[in-house]
Amino acid sequence: MKNKPPENPAFRMTPQRAEILRFLDGNKSHPSAEDIYARLKRKFPGMSFATVYNTLQTLISNGQLAEIKIDAARKRFDPGLTPHHHLLCVRCGLIADLPARRQAPPKGAPKGFKILICNVEYYGICPACGRGGNKEKISWKKK
Amino acid sequence: MKNKPPENPAFRMTPQRAEILRFLDGNKSHPSAEDIYARLKRKFPGMSFATVYNTLQTLISNGQLAEIKIDAARKRFDPGLTPHHHLLCVRCGLIADLPARRQAPPKGAPKGFKILICNVEYYGICPACGRGGNKEKISWKKK
DNA sequence: TTTCATAAGTAGAATCGTTCTAACCTAAGA
DNA sequence: TCTTAGGTTAGAACGATTCTACTTATGAAA
């Protein structure tokens, strides 16, 4: 994601928003709203959670950010707008990006269904967990 | 899904569980916990929501049911255990099944990552919405 | 059949991520 | 400077899910 303001003229680049954009720029960790809030709080101790959600919502409507639904417990956000797939370790929760391969149009789709996006997720066991390195079953913070 | 008790000897087939299984058997509507609860309530007015969640959790651990994460607002459950993909209308929320096509192993996965499941979701506009038939932007009940 | 251990069910509280609301703040244009 | 509208904030509200304490049902053993 390029770290510059959206074309939308109503979008004001405030310090909080600039910092959110800076944090997301090139970030491959698929942060949750809380991750972003925790990070921003360091720089803006008085910051509100609502600002994070508002900004994320704005960025999504502007097409600058995607929400990924891999984690049922919380929303995660992905600034990587070049098409890519996700690889998820069911033991430790690691989420990695994969280069997208060309996806053939699906067979069996109803006539007239217009496909916009294709999402591919692979679930499996990462090398560390496979070796028994990660004792934790699920390391995603539940708190 | 076959409507019979799992092999797990600790699984007791109670009337509530039998009814949940019957409701899920062959159900392609990807019901949420609330959908299931609402339906079961007709037959068991005294039923608790916790029973629904407990049973669903048990069925998932037994590998009899899959949780699908297409809808960020609530969990949905899919008894169709034969591999298949999902097609989702971003306007009306319709979720349809697609026959799974053979998915080639992903390129770029870390060495030693053991793939277990591959999930493919197509997002788009269904024929009805494309024709402007569905005026509702999102018909998923938001309450 | 009675006893007993334990799985399952219930009501309702608790949790927690997310959204909403109302008040205030601030930048920018008139 | 005044006005306006978008942005921020604190905190309440919301809603899906989980947890807890308790009761009930089941099935095996005595």
- Tell me which of B33 and B135 has the higher pLDDT: B33
Please report residues of B whose CB lies closer than 8 A to that of A115: 122-124
Measured CA to C1', the nucleotide nearest A44 is D8
A52 close to A14: Cβ distance less than 8 angstroms? no
The per-residue pLDDT for B7 is 52
Q: Is the pLDDT of residue B132 over 80?
A: no
Which CATH class, in words, describes the domain spanning B15-76?
Answer: mainly alpha
Q: How confident is the model at residue A130 (pLDDT cuts 50, 70, 90)?
A: confident
Residue B136 has pLDDT above 60, yes or no: no
What's the CA gap between B1 and B9, in Å, rounded? 19
- What percent of chain A is modeled with pLDDT above 70? 86
A139: pLDDT strictly greater than 90: no
- Residue in A closest to B94 by C-alpha: A113
Instruction: Name the most confidently modeled range: A6-10, A61-65, B56-60, B103-107.
Output: B56-60
DSSP-assigned states of every residue in B79-126: ---S-EEEEEETTT--EEEEEPPPPPPPTTPPTT-EEEEEEEEEEEE-
User: CA B103, CA B5: separation in Å to the nearest integer?
Assistant: 31
Question: Which residue from B104, B124, B127 is facing A111, i.e. has the nearest CB?
Answer: B127
B33 burial level (CB within 10 Å; 0-12, 13-18, 19+) = middle
Nearest Cβ partner for B124 among A87, A98, A115: A115
The pLDDT of B25-49, averaged and rounded, is 95
Is residue A36's pLDDT more than 80? yes
State both tokens at B58.
């048990």
The answer to whether some atom of strand C lies closer than 7 Å to the beta carbon of A32 is: yes
| CA-to-CA separations, B21 to A18, A128, B17, B38, in angstroms, rounded | 51, 37, 6, 14
Return the higher-pLDDT residue of A138 and B80: B80
Q: Which nucleotides in chain C lie closer than 7 A to a protein CB?
A: 7-12, 16-22, 27
Query: Domains of chain B: which residue ranges?
Result: 15-76, 82-130
CATH number of B82-130: 3.30.1490.190
Give the model's pLDDT for residue B98. 92
Among all residues of chain A, which has the CA nearest to that of B98? A108
How many whole angstroms separate alpha carbon A15 and alpha carbon A86? 31
Selection from A100, A135, A137, A104 nearest residue A120 by Cα: A100
